[in-house]
A and B are shown apart, each in its own frame.
Chain A
Amino acid sequence: MPRLEPYSPTPAARAGRIVMTVMPFAMGLACVLLSFVPLGRIVGSPLTPAFPLMAIYYWAIVRPEMFPPLAVFAVGLIFDLLSGGAIGLWAFVYVVTYAVVISQRMLVVNAPFSVFWVGFLFAAAFAGAFAWAIISIIHGMFVPPGSVARHMAVTVAVFPIFVMLFGRIQTRVLQGN
């Protein structure tokens, strides 16, 4: 009777698995970079959506095991380093928001898109209010909340476009996982 050789994945299969593992984090990083591309200048506005928050929310609901807290922290920290603001602000806000989203995940997972979107509305409102409270404490003054409100409103408005994009990538790349 012929003996079967123990299974060992081919280099291509290994590479594919690595790509699948790092893909959500890579998308998070791409979202961080996209936040600093002056897209608003096309229409003469300084407003830019919070792209990393979209990635964090999406993966926290859809595949939380592929976007662990370490990835959320790293995305927030890189955003802080690039933005020139308070170090740790968005790392902290994103990790807390991620924890809140994970705790309420069962309400949104497998629900219609409208529920998914409303869930994001609450997540964005929470993240914006939390960041605003921290920054007001840091500066010891009442920071005008207008800019963060506009920032989060734009983020919620463009969220469906990015959900489509993330969904496509998830279907194409992560289907076999």
Chain B
Amino acid sequence: MDSNRTALPFREFSHRISLVFMLTLAAALLLLGRAETYVFDRARQVVTDLAAPLLEVASRPVAATRRVIERTDEYAYVFDENERLRAENARLLAWKEEALKLQAKVARYEALLNVQVDPAINYVSGRVVSDSGGPFVDTVLVNVGSDKGAESGQAVIDTDGLIGRIVSTGPKASRVLLLTDLNSRVPVIIEPAHYNAVLAGDNTAWPRLEYLAAQSAVSPGDRVVTSGDGGLIPAGLPVGLVIQTSDGGLRVQTFSDRGRLDFVRVLQYEFPSQVKRQDPPQVLKGPPVTSAPPPGPVTLPGPGTAGTNTGSNAGGASPAPTAGAQ
């Protein structure tokens, strides 16, 4: 009897058994994976760390090609671009003067009110080495790992603004959850009226604004920045602009372009939870007042009443706040 004749049905049978087994295993894994156990997290990190160097090598020619295309584009429009930059430079010079004045004024008020200023934020620069790969996940890998001080929760920005936060780290690479991912939730403030909201990704290019007060007067074009609530992401990072969809809903057009991520910064921000006790100064020295005669120094109550409103101060500014963290 020909051995191939008997082998064929057996091979088909074993193929079917194997298929049923793999289907069951995959279904079980899908259910178990929801538990987010340590084993899966560890497996993710190991696979990510193994693949990161390969992806970094593979992403270099891509970045080089993109630069060549961009350069070609720039050469084609170099005259128009030059004109645009001249006009923008003139506008920005005026803004610079205004900004310097405001900076000096804010510095005086901070000194006057004894404000607890945020500590300087350290950062590590890196490159985006991978794409998300799938249609339901908006994450990227950056070549900054725990070896360079990256930790889960740290904010990641590019030249345009916030792009997301780190959700897992290995020694060599970290995974960044982008603002557009289904699982992304970032507390934000909508300027100029300072309405609080939560920026929620929903797998589209324009994240939603959630928990926005019903009576808030937010309009398209308003600027969205991080609020710093929760202490994970520093306050004031630019996020995007409010846009209105055709159904009247409010969403955010992020400043960062998901399709052009390249060099990024991982902000090693640490919430200043150990705040030193700051008693208000005994004597407030206000900013110089030119029109009215300078009032005499105001004597504040003793350190025992620190944190209470003082009622008035020399500069006519708002009452002294408590020694807040941010």
B residues 276-317 in Cβ contact with A at 8 Å: none
Inter-subunit contact B51/A41 (CB<8 Å): no
A residues 77-105 in Cβ contact with B at 8 Å: 77-92, 95-96, 98-99, 102
Q: Which residues of A contact B (CB under 8 A)?
A: 33-46, 48, 64-65, 68-70, 72-73, 76-92, 95-96, 98-99, 102, 128, 131-132, 134-135, 138-139, 143-144, 146-148, 150-152
Using known A-B contacts A40-B259, A68-B18, determine if residue A92 contacts B135 with beta carbons closer than 8 Å. no
CB distance from A75 to the nearest CB of B (A): 11
Residues from chain B with a CB closer than 8 A to the CB of A143 are 136, 182, 202-203
B128: CB under 8 A from chain A? yes
Residues from chain A with a CB closer than 8 A to the CB of B18 are 68-70
B85: CB under 8 A from chain A? no
B residues 1-42 in Cβ contact with A at 8 Å: 11, 15, 18-19, 21-23, 25-34, 40
- A sample of 11 more A-B contacts (CB under 8 A), given A87-B33, A88-B26, A131-B135, is A38-B130, A40-B131, A77-B29, A83-B137, A84-B137, A87-B30, A88-B28, A128-B135, A138-B34, A144-B202, A148-B136
Cα-based distance from A38 to B140 in the complex (angstroms): 9
- Across chains A and B, the number of contacting residue pairs, with CB separation under 8 Å, is 175
Interface size on B, residues (CB 8 A): 59
Residues from chain A with a CB closer than 8 A to the CB of B140 are 38
Partner of B135 from A44, A76, A91, A147 at Cβ < 8 Å: A147
Partner of B29 from A70, A85, A91, A144 at Cβ < 8 Å: A91
Cα-based distance from A91 to B43 in the complex (angstroms): 15
CB distance from A149 to the nearest CB of B (A): 8
29 inter-chain pairs at a CB distance below 8 angstroms, sorted by A residue, are A33-B51, A33-B55, A35-B133, A36-B141, A37-B58, A37-B130, A38-B59, A39-B62, A44-B260, A48-B132, A64-B15, A65-B11, A69-B18, A73-B22, A73-B25, A73-B26, A84-B139, A84-B168, A85-B134, A85-B137, A87-B33, A88-B28, A91-B30, A95-B23, A98-B19, A143-B136, A144-B204, A146-B204, A150-B135
